[in-house]
Homo-oligomer: A and B are copies of this chain.
Amino acid sequence: MSLAISPAYCVATYRCYDEKADFHKKATGIAVGLTVGSWTELPEARKAEMEKHLGRVVGVDVHEPSAGEPASARYADIRIAYPDMNFSRDIPALLVTVFGKLSMDGRIKLIDLAFSESFLSAFPGPRFGIEGVRNLLGVHDRPLLMSIFKSVIGHDLPALREQFYQQALGGVDLIKDDEILFENPLTPIEKRVELCMQAAAEAERETGQKLLYAANLTGPTFGLVEQAKKAINAGANALLFNVLAYGFDALSELSRHPDINVPLMAHPSLAGALYPSPYHGIAANVLLGKLMRLAGADLVLFPSPYGSVVMPKEENMAIKEALLTTEAADYIYGAPASSHGQVPLAASFPVPSAGIHPGLVPLILRDFGGQVVVNAGGGVHGHPMGAAAGGRAFRQAIDGRQAGVPLREYAADGHPELQEAIDAWGIKE
């Protein structure tokens, strides 16, 4: 049968646990139920018309429990292709189609997404991406360094300015607001940004170094653009955003808004409600990887595998891959796995966060390579010689590592801040 319109598909991969289910039947039920609704009872003439709307089962890989595994370990990875003409070119429509009702249907987790070329083409992706962020900072030859305000709630403007200045003096490339700092009478965003950007300029005269300040974009959804403009007008040269509290589409629209011409940093706030269960939710590589990049995050924070808030290493690597890959086959359903196809989205900076101290820098760079933002809070502010020294210790660790010198050796060679950090927190390699 020839089709008048050749459908293009977005593909969702699910992991379904069930001790007894006929997974092939379940897959067909999904493919039909979430698209045309019913199929076998349709008259032939209708089938011809409806076929372009019909979902397809692309794969069913059943994992039968091996000896020693309980029956509950039985699962299947099911891949369903959804015609993209069934939904509009936005992430809510995609997610509602592929995992709206289905999310409530037993033990099922969304573990991967691939997009049709036409769906993907509706997304400009990160406006800056890794290269753009590097261009703004004029730093191309090393991993970046970010620090986080220590405590912000209840502090007044002079206190925040001083915290900011000390961090900036340490040579960090980026400073981000705490994600729980909302509009408040003590430190309203336009005042906070103005003072902190003055501190940045002051520090730049000392360090010779540019700096991005990601101010926290909060408040009512329909006022986000105005709030962003207010921050930008006050001098903010980046914005932090709690994406999952607002939905991916808000990020997607912010990222393509002509007046919001600064990098957007995605915070993973609330992500732990979605990714950790093996049986439910949305896997980290989709949630904090592909969808963040698709929605235009220039930088993406996620829990590091090193610290107090942990994520398994392989999930971290899957997020990194999703943010950085140029291989079209990873993003586009039907794209050949070859060196020719490119992901038509700029790469997003991975920012593994939580529990980071200078002694972890070699490990971070080994795991993530050079395209990473080393991000620390306590590891900067808790430095025995203060926050500025904390930043310097990280920069020294990065420089030492870039020079190929072992950390202890580099520290001993006239880098007392790094030495102090190692004495305090050790080295993990």
Considering the complex, which residues of chain A in the window 79-113 have a beta carbon less than 8 Å from any beta carbon of chain B? 85-88, 90-93, 95-97, 99-105, 108, 110
* Contact present for A219 and B88 (CB under 8 Å): yes
Given A250-B247, A280-B273, does the pair A93, B151 have CB atoms closer than 8 Å? no
Nearest-Cβ distance from residue A220 to partner chain B, whole angstroms? 6
**Complex contact A276–B273 (CB within 8 A):** no
A286 to chain B, nearest CB (A): 11
Tell which of B34, B154, B247, B308 touches A50, judged by Cβ atoms closer than 8 Å: B154
B273 touches A99 (CB 8 A): yes
**In the bound complex, CA of A209 to CA of B309 (Å):** 57
Number of interface residues of A (CB under 8 A): 71
Query: Which B residues are CB-close (under 8 A) to A180?
Result: 34, 86-87, 96-97, 100-101
A201 within 8 A of B: no
Instruction: State whether A182 touches B87 (Cβ < 8 A).
Output: yes
> A274 to B273, Cβ gap below 8 A?
yes
Check A273 against B282 for contact (C-beta < 8 Å).
yes
| A425 on interface, CB distance cutoff 8 Å | no
Contact yes or no, B182 A104, CB < 8 A: no
- Report the separation of the CA atoms of residues A412 and B34 in the bound assembly, to the nearest whole angstrom: 37
A218 at the interface (CB under 8 A from B): yes
Contact status A221-B249, CB under 8 Å:
yes
Query: Chain B interface: which of A263-271, A344-352, A396-404?
Result: A263-271
20 contacts between A and B (CB under 8 A): A36-B154, A37-B153, A85-B184, A87-B180, A88-B183, A95-B245, A97-B180, A102-B272, A104-B272, A104-B309, A105-B272, A221-B250, A221-B253, A222-B222, A222-B250, A246-B249, A273-B281, A274-B274, A276-B280, A280-B281
